[in-house]
Amino acid sequence: MKNYDFDSILFPINFACWNAGNFGPQVFAEAEKRGMGILALKAMALTPLEKGEAKYDKNVWYRPIQDEQIMKMALKYTLSKNITAAVPPGKNTLFLKALEFMNEYQPISEKETTELLALAKATKPIFMHA
């Protein structure tokens, strides 16, 4: 961002990466400061696959959130940030779940945020700040 005048970024904004991996806040803040559009990825991702663990789908290289309640909260967490749009997962079943959740969307509550932060502490995020 410091070298080029981009209009937008495509970047993972995920509760576990943000809180347990410290991956996201710095890029997000810089993009906001520059007035860039922020397209969020990986809202419904949970953790990397364990060695030898089968993929959820051939195009999903991480373990997605399976619990629908947590999935909803994670998506709400991402949408609570000042983003332009959230890009749902490429797997059609996850994509359809994201669309279904948006029919009843409400901003994330303090209780839900607290619950996600506790889960983040017990989760190995898919991305971590070095």
The full set of domain ranges for the chain reads 8-50+60-121
18-69 residue pLDDT tens: 999 999 999 999 999 999 999 999 999 999 999 999 998 888 899 999 999 9
Q: Are 23 and 17 in contact (CB under 8 A)?
A: yes
Single out the residue of 66, 67, 65, 29 nearest to residue 45, CA to CA: 65
Single out the residue of 53, 77, 74 nearest to residue 65, CA to CA: 74
Rounded Cα distance, 31 and 16, in Å: 20
Q: Is 78 exposed, middle or buried (0-12, 13-18, 19+ CB in 10 A)?
A: buried
The predicted model scores a pTM of 0.92
105-124 residue pLDDT tens: 999 999 999 999 999 999 99
